[in-house]
Structure 1
Amino acid sequence: MSAAELARLQFAATTGIHWLFVILTMGLVPIVAIMHTRAAYTRDPDKRATRERMTRFWGQLYVINYAVGIATGLVMEFQFGLSWSGLSKFAGNVFGAPLALETLIAFFAESTFLGMWIFGWGRLRRGVHVTLIWLVTLTAYASAYWIMIANGFMQHPVGYEVRGGEAYLTDFGALLTNPHALLALAHITLAALTTGGVFVTGISAFHFARGTKEIELFRSSLRLGLWIGAVASFFVIIVGDLQFPVLERTQPMKMAALENSGVAELQAQLVTEHGPADYAPPHGWLRVSMDTMTIIGNTVSTVTLIAVCLLWKDWLVRRRPLAYLMTAMIPLPFIASAGGWVFREVGRQPWLVYGELTVNDALSHVSRTSLVVSCTAFITVFVALAAVNWSLIARFARRGPHATQLGATEPLPHDVPGDGADEKQPVPTY
């Protein structure tokens, strides 16, 4: 593999793995916030206790994913200087600010609010504690907004001028309202909510299939997750379709390569405008990634809408095969979203900043040996972190609410056999 191919593989692999953490974080945190709000303002003591335990259970899974995932985000920052110094030199004046704001929000504001929420159980007033988890939600989506602003500039550069081979920002408003950023943000927001909803539904269904005694807790979780997943998966398809007119106007070669039609004419036009090069992205990658995203997306939408109907008289959880089907669906939104990112990024090739900077021109002057070493190291670390993350999530999800340590005000029993429903659990009080 060439140096450029190694650098692209490194960034694609690390970004793809990091995205698996991000989409679950974005999808799970608003669900936890809804659960906590319902628990905090429930008058009935028994219902409040159940809803508080439910919040702590799902909140712990969210915290595990966030804690391990944040390490992947920190490591990714080094790759801009390591492999893509040409990108930083050309576009750093434009998207340096969005990236800096994303870092400040994600690694300072979001982390601070989350830490206060984690250690605030039984110590903070009810309203303050609930506000903290909503602030975590807000900062998570604000962080995603600034990332999409930077990525949107690479997809469709706006609000800038080139002086001395470098891009300078001239219209901050145009940068903030770039349709390539806003539509993509809406799309990934709905995809994240779909992912979070299917995740909560699948784990809840798994416990019903095993014959849980936590009936009310997991019934409430399953209903909330399923409704969110069903609604979000329906609208994510609609918002995805809204992006095609924008792509046809701003990235016609991507759409031509997808349909394998009109590529030669656009190739000749781009050669005239930018000089000799192959401007057609690979048709196979685009077709496979698009089909993966659309087929899985439509499948998830259809299954969740049917499952909503099966909530009547608890048919969904009384039939064990149906419960296991919902559990088996957990990986599907992750695969679909990965396909969407492949389509978005590969379709931009050979440009790194569309129409302005190619991948080869953005590559740092580093040896192939250095890239082999860094690529191997980065991918190994990221795969290890992903394995740790999912093994921890699977372990605590399988053990159920009795193993939850988040918000505990006194020692919890460990390795209690069975479901743990008969154990008397400490419940934080306000």
Structure 2
Amino acid sequence: MGAAGPARLEFALTASVHFLFVLLTLGLVTLVAIMQTRYARTGDAELGRMTRFWGLLYVINYAVGIATGLVMEFQFGLNWRNLGGAFGDVFGAPLAMETIVAFVAESTLLGMWIFGWGHLGRRLHTALIWGVALTAYLSAGWVLVSNAFLQHPVGYAVGPDGVARLTSFAALLGNPTLGLALGHVVTAGLLTGGVFVAGVSAWHLRRRPDDPLFRRSLRYGLRTAVGGGLFVVAFGGPQYAVIDALQPAKLATGARLANLQADLAARFGPGDYAPPAWIQHARDLMMELWLLLFALAVVAALVLRRRALDRPGSRALLRALVWAMPLPFVAAVCGWLFREVGRQPWVVYGLLRTSDAASPMSAGALAASLAVFGALVAGLAVTDWWLLARYARRGPGDEFLPDPGPVGADPVAFSAAEA
């Protein structure tokens, strides 16, 4: 098995868990920004309460998610030393940009948004949450720039010392594996955030069908889930043509896969270049879950808009929305496994095998690293979901965010003293 096996297992665990935080962050911050924009324009007290409630859940997920990202950063230096030594100058550049965006710009804007309630004018305060959303998208974008290089290396040159160095940042940004993947991840985040908001709202509405805050939140969540579901497949489907052109073995089966195996062995030397067969099942499950979630969101959006929520059919839909909350995360992990495991045996496609990228570590050190980091990231995931479940069940009114201020004030025009 060597060092690569445990190192891959450890990274798969931490990356999968961290990816779940990212998806919910992207979706929730967008919904919070939309809610606050409408609150700033109308002064509607219910929208202000919605912004604070869902904003609290977003802040919890963001804060714990940052910790899981730090765990991933440690692994590059500990478990994948040869990858960093050979290609770190290239794929490390966008990761450095992501660190600046996530840990400096995004965190700073979020802190100003949290403590700016009641102290900043509404337009400025609303601009802050949109700044947080934009930097969240940028952060995801830089990570995918780095990942796209691993999928299809471009914009580099290998020096006499065997170290790759960046020669064209524009080539990195124009990587054919980047644009559609970024759109797919962002819209998957919107689908995830929409299903989460709809599911939490449905949980409350089963107990209090006339709760105005969660009735409105349910509409926001379902509309976002429908829109995200439409666009996630619009960005996902065209990726198959790119994959077939650049990594054909990822999609091939049967005789075609056997021919590709022979061609790749002749090109790169002896070895097994066929990805594991189970990734096709992961891809199929991802698409089946998307269809189920999209159909549920469309039906719920149409039916619950016109019917009383205490009727048996409506209650069954509300129950289904609650149980559907984990499904976007399962679909996302399936998609990630298809993208990452499907390019094996390469960590940098066509240039560096995964077995050659791992750090030379003893079996004891590998076991200790897997145990420590695995327990840490699992603990963070449990903590996040416990906090989210606790505050989601309590409902609005227990947020640490300050009161948004008087509703009767003009939401658009505010004085310099207010700002």
TM-score, reference length from structure 1 = 0.91
Residue among 373, 377, 383 paired with 2:368: 373
- Matched letter for residue 21 of structure 1: F
Partner amino acid for 1:271?
Answer: A
1:20, 1:334 within 8 Å by CA — same for their partners in 2? yes
Listed as ranges, the gaps of 5+ residues in structure 2 are 410-417
Percent of counterpart pairs with the same letter? 52
| Structure 2 residue matching 1:180: 3-state secondary structure | coil
Aligned amino acid, residue 325 of structure 1: A
CA distance, structure 2, for counterparts of residue 315 and residue 360 of structure 1: 59
Amino acid paired to 2:288 = I
User: Matched residues in 2 for 1:283 and 1:163: separation?
Assistant: 37
1:50 lines up with 2:46 in the alignment = yes
- Quote the RMSD (CA, aligned, Å): 1.7
Q: CA deviation at 1:426?
A: 8.8
Aligned counterparts of 1:428 and 1:129: Cα–Cα separation in 2:
17
How far is 1:265 from its partner? 1.2
2 CA distance for matches of 1:170 and 1:12? Answer: 30
Q: Which structure 1 segments of 5+ residues have no match?
A: 410-424
Measure, in 2, the Cα distance between the counterparts of 1:50 and 1:223.
14
1:131-280 correspondence runs (5 A): 131-164=127-160, 165-211=162-208, 215-256=211-252, 259-280=253-274
Contact 2:71–2:377 (CA<8 Å) still a contact in 1? no
- Who is 2:413 aligned against? none
CA contact (8 A) 1:293 1:339 kept: yes
Q: Pick the aligned partner of 2:382 from 357, 382, 387.
A: 387
Segments ≥4 residues shifted beyond 4 Å: 315-318, 425-430
Give 1:119's aligned residue.
115
What is the Cα deviation at residue 404 of structure 1?
Answer: 2.2
- Name 1:71's counterpart in structure 2: 67
| Higher deviation after alignment, 204-213 or 185-194 | 204-213
Further displaced range: 394-403 or 148-157: 394-403
Measure, in 2, the Cα distance between the counterparts of 1:283 and 1:315: 47
Aligned partner of 1:184: which letter?
A
User: Structure 2 CA distance, aligned partners of 1:217 and 1:58?
Assistant: 11
Which one scores higher on RCO, CA 8 angstroms, separation ≥ 6? 2
Report the Cα distance in structure 1 between the residues aligned to 2:106 and 2:178, rounded to whole angstroms.
Answer: 21
In structure 2, give the amino acid aligned to 1:163.
G
Q: Is the 8 A contact 1:122 1:428 kept in 2?
A: no
Secondary structure of residue in 1 paired with 2:237: helix
Give the conservation status (yes or no) of the 8 Å contact 1:316–1:322: no
> Which residue pairs with 1:292 in the alignment?
285
Residue 403 of structure 1 corresponds to 398
Q: Which moved more, 1:301-310 or 1:191-200?
A: 301-310
Query: What one-letter code is carried by the residue in structure 1 that aligns with 2:389?
Result: A
| Residue type of the alignment partner of 1:350 | P
User: 1:315, CA displacement in angstroms?
Assistant: 4.7
Report what 1:27 is aligned to.
27
The corresponding residue for 2:16 is 16
* 2:306 matches 1:313: yes
- CA deviations on 1:84-129 (whole Å, 9 max, x unpaired) are 0111111112112100000010011100000000000001111110
Among 296, 300, 317, the residue aligned to 1:303: 296
Deviation at 1:260, TM superposition (A): 3.7
Shift of 1:317: 6.2
Distance 1:41 1:353, change over 3 A: same
In 2, Cα distance between the equivalents of 1:59 and 1:23?
A: 15
Question: Which residue pairs with 2:39 in the alignment?
Answer: 39
1:314, CA displacement in angstroms? 3.6
Q: Aligned partners of 1:376 and 1:81: how far apart in 2?
A: 17
Equivalent-residue separation in structure 2 for 1:390 and 1:179 (angstroms): 36
Deviation at 1:70, TM superposition (A): 0.6
